[in-house]
Structure 1
C-alpha cells in the first residue's frame, strides 16, 4: 500500500482500490460548527474567546492554512509568488522624500533618495529587511500584513518612541471586537494557535489593541493590519489566489495521477488466452510420470510447469535480440452436441492509449498554470509560463516588466510599507522620510553599452 500525503490529506493506493481521505480538526468549544464549503460569507460569523468576538479568517477560519497547503504542494505556484516578491523588492528598500517637479507635460512627482544615520540606525536595530521580506511574502499570498508596534521601555515617563515593528503570522492572528461594542468594528487583534495543531497552545491567547492612528503612543503594544480591501468584505482581504485554488488543486493532482499510474497500472502489452484442454492434458502427463516414478502428485507440479512454460513465451516476445522470432500454436476442435468447441492459444496485443491519457493530463496542467498566472496578475513572460514552453523574447519580457512596474508596484508597496512609514512619521516627524523599494528602469540590450552589461554586485 502506498500513501501520498497532500498537506494533512492523502491519496491511498492499493492493488485493489485507490481512495482519498481528509483530516478534520476537532473545533474548540467556542466553535459551534464548521461550514462544509469555504464560502465567502465571513462577515456574519464569529466566535467568542474571553470578552471578545473573534472574526474568522475564512468560512472555517482556516483560509491561511488552505492557501499555504495548496500553494506549497504545487509545482509552479511557489515560483510565481516568489517571482512577484522579487519584482516588488527590486533593488531593495531605500529612504526617500517626495517632490513635485515641473515638466513639459505638467507637474510630476518624483522620489529623491536620502541617507539619514539616525533613521538607518533605528531600522537596523530591529532587522527591518527581514520584517519586510516576511511582509512581502504575506502580501503575495494573502494580500494583508499583520504587524505589532512595540514602544520603548519607560515610554510613559519619558519620550514615547516606537522601538521596533514585529511581523505577526497571519495564520495565528485574528481581528476581534469587544462584546459591548455594538458596531462590531474590529477593535483588537488576538494571537493564538488557531489551527488546533497544538492542543495546549490552542487554549492560550494574547489580546492587543489595534493601532490608533490618532494616538499612536496610547498603548505599549498594538497591532496594525494593512491590507487590500476586498469588495463588500468587512474584516479581511479575499486574495486573488482564492479564485485560483481549484486550478491549483487540479494542477497538483496531475503528477500524483501519473505516480499512481506508474505504481498500479498493469501496463500490459499482450494478453494470452490458453485452452483448458491443454492444461488438462499436461496434468494427466504429469500424473502418469508420478505413477512411474512412484512419487505422489501435487497441484504445485502443474503450477511450476505452467510458470516455466510462460517464461519461455515471454522470452520469445521480449528483447531486441528476439526481433523476427515467432510463436507457433495449433488449434483443435471438439463437438459437444450442436456446439463446436475450439481449443488453441491466442495472443492479443493490448492498445493501452497511454499517450492520449498522458497528453490530456499534461494539457490540463498547462492550462492550470496559465490560469494561475492570469489569476495572480503576472504576465507569462515574467512568470516563465509561456504558451510554447520556451522563454519569451527579450522585448516581450521588457515590455511586461515595464507594465508591471507602472501598474503593479504602488499599491502593494503602500500596504507592505504602511506600518514602517507610520512609525517613521511618529518617530521622526520633522524629517519627512518614507521607506520604499528601489526599481531600476529596464532597457533593451541594444541601448546598453558593452561595458555596462556587466552585473555589478
Structure 2
C-alpha cells in the first residue's frame, strides 16, 4: 500500500490508496506548532531565479547554463508535451509556416509593394537535393520542418554545418546542414573574468555539446559558426539562431514563460478529476488529535530512547516503539512516524472489505482546571462534489482560452471551439487566416536563415543577384472569386 503524509505547523494530510484524511493537533490549528523543527520534514522556500545567468566552469570554458538549473529545455519540452492543446497548436503553427516547403525566390517590387517572385534555380536545387547523398541525417525538407518546430518550442535552434572535404578542388564548401538537439548544446566563452567584466553575445565563440543531465563528463567543443571564418573550419561548426529576448543569451519561449502557471494547471486538471472520481466513494474525514496525546507519546519515546542508551552500553538489542526503530536519540520524525502509524490504523478501520467487527481505540485525557476531556475526534467532511468538478472544468476552459490566445491564433483557425460560439462564417475564417499569414514574415526569415547563409557561401554570385530561400505558402482564394471548374468541390483529390 502506498501512503504519504505531509504536515505544515499543526495541520496535515494523510493519503493512502483508499482514503484522504486531514488532521490537526490540538484545538488551535493556527497557533504555535507543537512539533519541533526536524531536518527530515523541513520545507525550503521557493526561490525566484528569473533573470539570473548561471555559469558553469568546465575545463577552461565558462558555459552559460540554460535556465537557473540548466534544465530549461527539458522543462519546456515536458510542459508542452504533457499538455493536450499545445502540441497540436505548435504543429498547426509549424505547418502554416512551412506551407509547401522551402523554395527559391527573388525579392521584387510590384505596384509599390515588396513581393517574392518564386523561381527555379537549378544549381541551388541540386545542392539541396544532394544532402542525403552527402551524408546528412535528413533531407532539406525534413530539416526545414524540424527547424520550425524547434523554433516554436524554444525560440532558438542550433545547426551543425558540415564542411565538405576537398572543398578546394571544386566542391561546395557547405555539404549540408544538420539540426542539433537543444538539450545537448550550450554557449561557451574562453573569457576568464565573467564576474566583473561585461559578457556580450559575441563573446560566445564556442558551442559545447554533451549530456548535461549527467554533468557533461564527456563533451565536444565546436567553434560557433561565423560566416567570416568559414575557410578556417576543417570539418564542422555549429551556429546558433535565436529570437532575441531581453536579458537572455539563448532564445526564450516567452509564451511558455508567461503562461507557465496555466500550462501546469491545465496539465494537472485531468489528474485532479480522475483522482477525485477514483476516491470519491472513500470516507473523507478530518481528525482532531489531542495535544495531550501527542505529548504523552513524546514522553514515552524519549523514555525508551534513554533506556536504549543503557542497552547499547550493555550490547543489548535496542527496543522498538510500536515497530518503529527510534534509536537512542529522540527525533520529532520518530513521533511523526508514529502519528502516521495511527492514521494508517484509522484508514484501515474506515475502509476496505469486511468492515464488520472492526474497532479503533484511542485514549482520552483530562486536562485544564475544569478537567476537560480531550480525545480523538473524527469529523465528516462535506466534499461538495458538484462544485469541485465544476470549478475544475471552468478553470480548464479559461486555461484553454489563455493558451490559444497566447500563440496569437484565433479559435476559428486553431480548430479549438469556444463556449458561446456556435459556428464561424467562412469569411471570418478566411480573413483571420490571412491576417495570421501576414504575421509570419519574421518567423519565416529566422527559420530560413541557415539556408540563406549557406547560399551566400556556396553561391556568392547568386546571392548577390538576390536569390534567397523562403517558405512558399499558397494564399487561398475565396470560392466566389474562383471559376466554377477550379473550385475545390470540382477538383480531383
SS at 2:183 equivalent: coil
Aligned partner (choices 89, 98, 109) of residue 98 of structure 2: 89
1:14 deviates by 2.1
Q: 1:78-134: CA deviations, max 9, x gaps?
A: 111111111111122211111223x2xxx2221111212221121122211111111
In structure 2, what is the Cα distance between the partners aligned to 1:435 and 1:124? 14
Q: Does 1:444 align with 2:478?
A: yes
SS at 2:252 equivalent: coil
Aligned to 1:119: 124
Q: Is the 8 A contact 2:62 2:192 kept in 1?
A: no
SS at 2:226 equivalent: coil
Residues 230-241 of structure 1: matches in 2 within 5 Å? 230-241=245-256
User: CA 1:51/1:383 → structure 2, altered by over 3 Å: closer, same or farther?
Assistant: same
Residues 411-422 of structure 1: matches in 2 within 5 Å? 411-422=442-453
Q: 1:16-43: CA deviations, max 9, x gaps?
A: 3499xxxxxxxxxxxxxx9955633233
User: CA 1:447/1:159 → structure 2, altered by over 3 Å: closer, same or farther?
Assistant: closer
Gaps of 5+ in 1: 4-11, 20-33, 269-302, 308-349
Residues 40-189 of structure 1: matches in 2 within 5 Å? 40-43=50-53, 45-101=54-110, 103=111, 107-126=112-131, 127-155=139-167, 161-180=173-192, 184=199, 185-189=203-207
Gaps of 5+ in 2: 4-14, 23-43, 132-138, 284-352, 358-380
1:252 deviates by 1.1
Q: Is the 8 A contact 1:190 1:208 kept in 2?
A: yes
User: CA 1:239/1:305 → structure 2, altered by over 3 Å: closer, same or farther?
Assistant: closer
Most deviating of 428-437 and 149-158: 149-158
In structure 1, what is the Cα distance between the partners aligned to 2:355 and 2:255? 65
Aligned partner (choices 219, 223, 226) of residue 209 of structure 1: 223
How many equivalent residue pairs? Answer: 349
Aligned partner (choices 365, 377, 384) of residue 396 of structure 2: 365
Aligned partner (choices 403, 417, 428) of residue 386 of structure 1: 417
Q: Does 1:424 align with 2:455?
A: yes
In structure 1, what is the Cα distance between the partners aligned to 2:249 and 2:383? 54
In structure 2, what is the Cα distance between the partners aligned to 1:212 and 1:177? 15
Q: Which TM-score applies when normalising by structure 2?
A: 0.65
In structure 1, what is the Cα distance between the partners aligned to 2:393 and 2:355? 44
In structure 2, what is the Cα distance between the partners aligned to 1:139 and 1:93? 16
In structure 2, what is the Cα distance between the partners aligned to 1:48 and 1:112? 49
Q: Is the 8 A contact 2:154 2:251 kept in 1?
A: no
Aligned to 1:300: none
Q: Is the 8 A contact 2:101 2:144 kept in 1?
A: no
Q: 1:329-379: CA deviations, max 9, x gaps?
A: xxxxxxxxxxxxxxxxxxxxx986433322211110111011111222222
Aligned to 2:385: 354
User: CA 1:418/1:304 → structure 2, altered by over 3 Å: closer, same or farther?
Assistant: closer
In structure 2, what is the Cα distance between the partners aligned to 1:18 and 1:120? 68
In structure 2, what is the Cα distance between the partners aligned to 1:57 and 1:176? 11
Q: Does 1:223 align with 2:238?
A: yes
In structure 1, what is the Cα distance between the partners aligned to 2:100 and 2:436? 15
In structure 2, what is the Cα distance between the partners aligned to 1:442 and 1:419? 28
In structure 2, what is the Cα distance between the partners aligned to 1:157 and 1:304? 87
User: CA 1:143/1:456 → structure 2, altered by over 3 Å: closer, same or farther?
Assistant: farther
In structure 2, what is the Cα distance between the partners aligned to 1:171 and 1:37? 23
Q: 1:414-434: CA deviations, max 9, x gaps?
A: 111111110011101112321
In structure 2, what is the Cα distance between the partners aligned to 1:112 and 1:456? 28
In structure 2, what is the Cα distance between the partners aligned to 1:18 and 1:2? 14
Q: Is the 8 A contact 2:80 2:86 kept in 1?
A: yes
SS at 2:123 equivalent: helix
Q: Is the 8 A contact 1:64 1:171 kept in 2?
A: yes
